[in-house]
Amino acid sequence: MVEVEFQVLADQREGLLLQLGQAVISAGFTLARQRLTESPEGVRLMLVVRGPQAQLLALEERLGTHRLVRSFEAIAHEPGQPLNGASYGAPPVTQAPRTQNAEPVARGPAVALDMRRIEAELRLLAQDYPQVFPRLLSLERSFDAESKSTAMRHLGQRIGAWVYKRDFALGAHLAPADALKHVAVPALRPLVQAEAHAANALRIRNSPFVVAGKGTQCNCHFFSGYLEALLKEASGNTAAVAVRETQCRGIGADACVFEIHS
C-alpha cells in the first residue's frame, strides 16, 4: 500500500471533488483527506489517497486525462519523495509505465526517465500535433538502449490518451473490435497509413520509426503505447487492454502489425 498526495489545479470548483473522488475510488484507492482552496491560478484541490502501488499509474492516468484537471503534482508520503519530481499538465505526464515490448501483459522493472524533459516535450508535441515525427524521431535517437522502448511507449500512451479526450471522448464505450475500427484507425490517419487487420490487429504501412530490413527487433514502441491508450479509453477499461507489435518493417515485414489483447 502507498499513500500519495495529489496537488490538482483546475479551472472550476463545481463538481471537482465529487468527480475526482470517484476517479480515486474507481482506481482502487481510498480518500484519506482533502482540501479545496482558490488561488489566482485557479482552483486547487489537495487529495491524500491510499491504495495499491500496482494501481498508482492507472490513478495518475485518470487524473491526468480528466476533463476538469488542468495539471497536477504527485508526492509520495512514503518514503516522502516526489514521484519522479514531475508536475503534470496537458497532455499530462505520469510515472513511466513499467512495460516491456516483448510481452503484451507482462510488466518489467521500471526504467528511470527524465520526466521533466518528457513533460516539456509533451507540451511541444501537443502544439505541433499531428506534425510530431521530427521531434519524436529526434527524441528516440537521444534515449539510450535501456530506456528507449519505455520512454517511447510512454510518450505514445500519453499522446494517445490526450487525442482520445480531445477527439473521441463524447462517444459511447465500445467493444475492442469496434474501438479498433472506429477510434484507433481514424486517430492514426493524420499520422500514418493504417488499417484494421482482422478483428484484433492493425497494420501500419509507413511507420517512420523503422528502416525496412535494417533492424533485428520490432521498434514501433510509440505506436504500441498510442494504440493501447486509445483502446483503453475507448473501451472504458483501463487495465485489460494490451498491445503488442508482432511484425515490423524493420525486420523485413511489408507492414508493422499490432495485435490487441483484451
Q: How far apart are the first and last CA of the chain?
A: 26
Q: List the pLDDT tens digit at each of the 262 positions of the chain.
A: 888 899 898 888 999 999 998 889 988 899 999 999 998 888 999 999 999 887 887 888 788 778 888 888 888 765 434 333 334 444 443 333 333 333 333 333 344 567 777 878 888 898 899 999 999 999 999 988 878 888 899 899 889 988 998 898 887 889 888 999 999 999 999 999 999 988 899 999 999 998 655 666 788 999 999 999 999 889 886 557 889 999 998 888 899 999 998 7
Report the run of H or E that residue 76 belongs to, with start and end: strand 69-76
Q: What is the pLDDT of residue 212?
A: 55
Q: What is the pLDDT of residue 192?
A: 96
Report the run of H or E that residue 42 belongs to, with start and end: strand 42-51
Q: What is the pLDDT of residue 214?
A: 60
Residue 241 cell numbers, joined: 487492454
* Residue 139, phi-psi category: left (phi > 0), alpha (psi -120 to 50), beta (remainder): alpha
Q: What is the pTM of this model?
A: 0.62
45-to-59, 60, 62, 70, 94 alpha-carbon distances in Å = 16, 15, 15, 11, 18
